[in-house]
């Protein structure tokens, strides 16, 4: 398999995991009768998996001096993840998996091209051009068609 193909396959697998995760978390919500506790359970299993992986790989804990030098906003990823999980648990049963993921991808794409264009959060600047704008428009059109 060419080296350039593996990352594409893994990215597709990550997308598949995201869809399955949302359906599982929605079922967990109904089983526990709580969005908050379903979110907690999802993160608890996730953090357990990460800790076990770190132990198995013998990954050292980062030095306090490295942690102290990070900008404040680097710590908000978990909050954004919790927001995503909570909203997906509520919205997947209402919208359906395809519409939800389509809207998620549209939101990700709009945000990512904007962040690339301005170079926000340390990303390299990649201006929005006609091709990128057309890609965004086609994706939004696809979401509209999926929703119908």
Q: Are 38 and 29 in contact (CB under 8 A)?
A: yes
Q: CA 41, CA 58: separation in Å to the nearest integer? A: 25
**Nearest residue to 113 (alpha-carbon basis) of 138, 85, 87:** 138
Q: For every one of its 148 residues, what pLDDT tens digit does the chain have, with 9 covering 90 and above?
A: 567 889 989 988 998 998 899 999 999 999 999 999 999 999 999 999 999 999 999 999 999 999 999 999 999 999 999 999 999 999 999 999 988 988 898 899 899 999 999 999 989 999 999 999 998 899 889 888 888 8
Domain housing 86? 5-147
- For residue 18, the tally of other CB atoms under 10 A from its CB is 15
- For the record, the structure tokens of 19 come out as 């869809």
Number of domains present in the structure of the chain: 1
Q: Which helix (H) or strand (E) holds 92?
A: helix 77-95
């Amino acid at each position: 398999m060419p080296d350039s193909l593996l990352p594409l396959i893994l990215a597709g697998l990550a997308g598949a995991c995201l869809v399955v995760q949302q359906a599982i978390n929605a079922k967990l919500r109904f089983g526990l009768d709580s969005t908050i506790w379903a979110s907690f359970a999802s993160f608890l299993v996730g953090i357990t998996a990460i800790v076990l992986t770190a132990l198995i790989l013998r990954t050292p804990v980062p030095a306090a001096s490295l942690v102290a030098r990070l900008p404040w906003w680097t710590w908000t990823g978990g909050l954004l993840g919790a927001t995503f999980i909570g909203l997906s648990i509520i919205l997947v049963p209402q919208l359906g998996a395809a519409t939800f993921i389509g809207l998620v991808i549209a939101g990700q794409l709009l945000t990512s091209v904007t962040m690339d264009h301005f170079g926000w959060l340390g990303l390299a600047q990649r201006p929005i051009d006609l091709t990128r704008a057309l890609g965004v428009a086609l994706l939004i059109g696809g979401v509209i068609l999926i929703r119908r």
